Structure 1
C-alpha cells in the first residue's frame, strides 16, 4: 500500500521521477511500434499540446458555463460529417474513444428497437472479424452477439449474415476496415440488407474514417462506406487514430440526427433536478475536444492527404520488401493501413522471428489466425519502412540459424 506523501514534492522532483519511470518504455517517435500511437511530427504535437492546455481544466459537461466548447465540438462534428457523407439532417456525438462510440451505437439500436418494435431479447449480427468491443458493449447492454465467419476474401459474407438474422435482430455491423486484416466489409450490401429487415446498420470506421477518404483521393480503390450509403444508420470514427488527435477523441456519427436521442440518458430521479447526457461519461475533458479541433484545423485537407500518402508509401515498401524475403508472404487482401505477414515455410518459426524483431526494439503485434505479424501503419512509418524490411530479413536469418530471441549488437535496445 502506498500512502499520499506527508509533504508535497517540488515540480522538478516530480518531473524527474516521471521521466525516470519512462526509461523502459518504447520510443514511439522512432516508429518502432506497430500499435498504440499515431504521430506525424513535432509541430503537430505542439499544436495538440497547446490546444489541450488552453482547455485543460474546462469540463465539457458544462457547456452552459463554457459555450466555447460547444462551438468547438459542433465544428469538429461538422467537419467529420462533411468528410464522411453526412447530409443536412445528420448529427454526431464526441466521445472518449471507439469503444464508447460503438457502445452508444449498440445502445441506440437496442433502445430504438425496443421502443418501436417491442424487442426485449435483442441480438446483433456481425462478421467474426469485427472488433471485440462490440461483444463488450453487448454484454453490458444485454444483447446477444451472433458472429458469422468471414469469407476467403477476408470480408463479411452478406448471405451468411442474413441467415443469422431473425425478428429480434436489432443491428448489423460492418467494418471499414476491420482490425485483424485491414479489409473492408461490403457495406453497401450489408446496409441494403439492414434496411430491408428494419435493422440498425453500424459501420465501424474507427480506423478508416479519417484515412480512407484520402487514400481514395490518391487513386486507391476504397469502397463506399460513408453515411451517404443508403441504409447506413451510424458510423464510428476515431479522431485519435488517423484524425491525428491525441487520445480521448472519437465520434459517433448518425445519418439522422434524431437517432442521437436513442443513446441519450435523461432522468429527474433525484433531488437536484434534471440530468441528461448523450455519452457514457459525465465529466468530459475540454482539452480533448480542443486538441482534436486544433489537429483538424492545423492539418487541413492537404495535411490529411499527406498523411495518407506517407502511410501508403510505407505500406508499399514494406509489403514488397517482406514479400521478397524467402519463406514469407503478405496476407492478401488488405485495403488500407493494416496488413499481416506470415511464414510460408513450415520450418520457419514466426515466434522466433517475432522475438528477434523485439530484441532489436521493434514492438511486434502477433496475429493469432493465421499465425503471423500484424502491422498498423501511421505516417512516421514511412521514415523507417526500409529499416523494418531489413530488420525482418535479419530476424528471419536469426530464426533459421537457431539464435532464438536475440540477434545482432542491439540486443535489448531500441
Structure 2
C-alpha cells in the first residue's frame, strides 16, 4: 500500500517523475488516439491553459464572491444560446461535463413530469440504440427506466420506433446531434413532432455537436435542424471541452424557457448554515474551466471556429475517401467530425490489433463492426500515414469469413 510520505519531495524530482510516468502514454499530439482529445492548435491550447491557471483557485460555487466567474458563465451561456437559435426565453448554465448536463436534463424532465402526473409509476426515457450511455447512467441513479429502440437503415434514430415505444410512464425522448457511434444527426424535427403530440420533454444531446454543428452548417454541411429553431426541443446539452476547445470540465445545458430551466437546480433550506442552492449536480466547480471556456470563445470568435471546423471537416472527407479506396464503407452520412466505416468482409478485432502494433489506439464500433474516429486537428497531418498503416493491418489480418450475413451492405 502506498502511504503518504513523511517528508515532501522537491518539485524538480516530482516533475521528472511525472514526465517519466507519461512516457508510454499514447502520442495524442501525433494523432494516434481516435478520441479523448480536442485540439485546435497550440495558440488555442495556450489561451485555454493560461485562463485556467489565472482562475485555478476560484470556486464556481461562490459566484457571489467571485463576480468575475458569474460574468464569464453568463456570457458563455449567452454566446452558446445565440449559436443554438435561442431567444429571450431560453436559459442555461454551465456544468462540469456532458454526463452532468445529461443527468440534470433527465432530472428536470422527471421532476416536471412527476409534478404534472402523479400516476407515473416508473418514469421512462425513450431513445435510440445510438444514444449515449450517460442516459442509462442517469436512469440508474435516479430510478428511471431506459428504453432503447432500433436504428433506421441510415443509422439515425427511427421516429416511428420511438413513438411506438412511448408509454404513459414516458417522461423524455432523446435525439442526438450527432450520435457518437456513427456521427450522424438524428431527425430531430420528426422526433420533436412526436414529443409535441405526446406532450413529452425532448432532449437533444449535442455534447459533441453543439459547438461545431453551427459552424459546419455555415460552411455548407447538410443535416436536419436540431436546435431551438425546432419547435418541441426542450433542452440541449453541449460540451465546451469538446469542440468549444476549452479546458476539460466545461459543458453547457440549455432550456427552452424559464420553467424548464427551473427544474435543473436543487435547493435545501433546513441547514444551520442557511439556504443552499446550486444549478448543478456538483457543488464546488473549478473556476479555471469557466474562465477557460470564456477566454477560448472570445479568442477564436465565429471566424476562428469556422476556420478550425473547415479543417476538421476536410480531414473527415480525406479519411472517408481513403477508407473507401480500401473497400471500407462509411456508415450513414456523417457531416461533422465523427465517422465510422467498415466492411463485413473483414475482422476488425484483428485489424485493430494490427493498428495497435503500429502505434495507433483504434476506435471500434459493433453491429456492424468497423472503425471509429472523432477527429481534431492532430489528425489532419497524419491521415496518409494512418491509411497506409490501416492497409498494412488489413493485409496482416486477411479476409474474414464470408457468410450470408456478410452479403449485407451498410
Which residue is equivalent to 1:202? 203
Equivalent residue runs for 1:306-317 within 5 Å: 306-317=307-318
* Secondary structure of the structure 2 residue equivalent to 1:266: strand
Which residue is equivalent to 2:375? 377
Matched residues in 1 for 2:9 and 2:342: separation? Answer: 50
Matched residues in 1 for 2:163 and 2:319: separation? Answer: 37
Which residue is equivalent to 2:404? none
Matched residues in 2 for 1:274 and 1:349: separation? Answer: 58
Q: Give, in angstroms, the shift of residue 77 of structure 1.
A: 0.4
Q: Give, in angstroms, the shift of residue 133 of structure 1.
A: 0.7
Which residue is equivalent to 1:223? 224
Which residue is equivalent to 2:58? 58
Matched residues in 2 for 1:279 and 1:113: separation? Answer: 20
Q: Give, in angstroms, the shift of residue 217 of structure 1.
A: 1.0
Question: Does 2:400 correspond to 1:399?
Answer: no
Which stretch shows the higher mean deviation, 203-212 or 253-262? 253-262
Matched residues in 2 for 1:50 and 1:129: separation? Answer: 37
Which residue is equivalent to 2:23? 23
Matched residues in 1 for 2:42 and 2:24: separation? Answer: 22
Compared CA separation, residues 379 and 257, structure 1 to 2 (3 A): farther
1:102-140 per-position Cα deviation (integer Å, ceiling 9, x unaligned): 000000000001112223421111111101110000111
8 Å Cα contact 2:241-2:249 kept in structure 1: yes
Matched residues in 2 for 1:263 and 1:329: separation? Answer: 41
Q: Give, in angstroms, the shift of residue 196 of structure 1.
A: 1.7
Which stretch shows the higher mean deviation, 369-378 or 66-75? 369-378
Q: Give, in angstroms, the shift of residue 259 of structure 1.
A: 1.5
Matched residues in 1 for 2:397 and 2:125: separation? Answer: 43
* Secondary structure of the structure 1 residue equivalent to 2:157: coil
1:31-65 per-position Cα deviation (integer Å, ceiling 9, x unaligned): 11111100021111111111001100001101111
* Secondary structure of the structure 2 residue equivalent to 1:104: helix
Question: Does 2:320 correspond to 1:322?
Answer: no
Which stretch shows the higher mean deviation, 48-57 or 372-381? 372-381
1:332-373 per-position Cα deviation (integer Å, ceiling 9, x unaligned): 33232111121342xx42222111111111110111221111
Which stretch shows the higher mean deviation, 390-399 or 65-74? 390-399
* Secondary structure of the structure 2 residue equivalent to 1:339: strand
* Secondary structure of the structure 2 residue equivalent to 1:138: helix
Q: Give, in angstroms, the shift of residue 92 of structure 1.
A: 0.6
Matched residues in 2 for 1:231 and 1:82: separation? Answer: 18
TM-score, normalised via structure 1 length: 0.94
1:252-279 per-position Cα deviation (integer Å, ceiling 9, x unaligned): 1111133221121111222211100111
Equivalent residue runs for 1:160-171 within 5 Å: 160-171=161-172
Which residue is equivalent to 2:97? 97
Matched residues in 2 for 1:132 and 1:139: separation? Answer: 11
Unmatched 5+ residue regions in structure 2?
A: 401-410
Unmatched 5+ residue regions in structure 1?
A: 403-414
Which stretch shows the higher mean deviation, 94-103 or 374-383? 374-383
Which residue is equivalent to 1:37? 37
Which residue is equivalent to 1:106? 106
Matched residues in 2 for 1:174 and 1:36: separation? Answer: 22
Equivalent residue runs for 1:48-197 within 5 Å: 48-118=48-118, 119-197=120-198
Matched residues in 2 for 1:99 and 1:174: separation? Answer: 15
Question: Does 2:297 correspond to 1:296?
Answer: yes
* Secondary structure of the structure 2 residue equivalent to 1:341: strand
Matched residues in 1 for 2:21 and 2:192: separation? Answer: 48
1:301-334 per-position Cα deviation (integer Å, ceiling 9, x unaligned): 11111121111111111111111114x3322332
Which residue is equivalent to 2:348? 350
Which stretch shows the higher mean deviation, 116-125 or 237-246? 116-125
* Secondary structure of the structure 2 residue equivalent to 1:271: coil
TM-score, normalised via structure 2 length: 0.95
* Secondary structure of the structure 1 residue equivalent to 2:22: helix
Matched residues in 2 for 1:393 and 1:294: separation? Answer: 41
Q: Give, in angstroms, the shift of residue 399 of structure 1.
A: 2.1
Q: Give, in angstroms, the shift of residue 157 of structure 1.
A: 1.3
Which residue is equivalent to 1:340? 340
* Secondary structure of the structure 1 residue equivalent to 2:220: coil
**CA-atom RMSD in angstroms:** 1.4
* Secondary structure of the structure 2 residue equivalent to 1:236: strand
Q: How many residues align?
A: 399
Which consecutive aligned stretches of 4+ in structure 1 deviate over 4 angstroms post-superposition?
A: none
Which stretch shows the higher mean deviation, 277-286 or 116-125? 116-125
Which residue is equivalent to 1:278? 279
* Secondary structure of the structure 2 residue equivalent to 1:273: coil
* Secondary structure of the structure 2 residue equivalent to 1:247: coil
Q: Give, in angstroms, the shift of residue 397 of structure 1.
A: 2.0
* Secondary structure of the structure 2 residue equivalent to 1:76: helix
